[in-house]
Amino acid sequence: MAVIYWAGDSTVQYNSILTYPQTGIGQVFHLFVRPEVRIENHAKNGRSTKSFLDEGRFSVICDRIEEGDFLFIQFGHNDEKKQDPARYTEPAVSFTANLERFVAAAREKKAFPVLITPVERRCFDGDGRLQEGEHGDYVAAMKQAAKRWKVPLIDLCAMSRDKLVEAGNEKTKEWYMHLPAGQYVSHPEGLTDNTHLKYEGAVTYAGCIARGLKELGGIYEALLLDGLDY
């Protein structure tokens, strides 16, 4: 059966006890796929499309991916960092060009690329209303690229926003690394982190991606366990 290769950032990466309780979406995605499907998670904290390519991380995937495999491409959070030239990309220019490199390389190996928009940050205001996030231009660029190149796209940004609104300000603190003082030894003074995920959030958003694959149907739906109800 196929292998899913995942290229992405800290919202996707596999975490060790050193970053507990942080959990990446790719770390729990195996819960939704057939047991014969293997996942290779190459996502890494702090990476953008640019730094992932520049550091040779995608070359490792290219050396391993084979015909019939899948490449999940999920970036945006770090491409937005204008203050860091090692990571920043312009949405409609370098970001799009980098995405094209991922897609073209997968297709050259006769693998199937899937573009996944970045998960939304937990950006509630003081009145408990979800604000507009910072991903908009990158989401738009990825959607345009998917349409231009006829690449399947899962709009995790939109789905995660829906989940955030539905669950609300307080409940979603359980999904993100929003840690009260004394809750974890590694963060004894507490931590307000509305980007990185805990297990509950990772599973919630992995379920969104699984729903997206089911909606795509065919070979994408075939990756999933039977009986999943969305």
Q: One of 10, 48, 51, 160 is an active-site residue; which one?
A: 10
Which of 120, 108, 133, 127 is closest to 58 using CA atoms?
A: 108
221 is catalytic: no
55 is catalytic: no
With helix as H, strand as E and coil as C, how does 130-160 read? ECCCCCHHHHHHHHHHHHHHCCCEECHHHHH
Q: One of 36, 132, 166, 189 is an active-site residue; which one?
A: 189
196 is catalytic: yes
Helix, strand, coil tally for the chain in percent (to 5): 40, 15, 40
Q: Which position has the token pair 């204008």?
A: 82
Q: One of 42, 135, 178, 196 is an active-site residue; which one?
A: 196
Residue numbers annotated as active site: 10, 189, 196
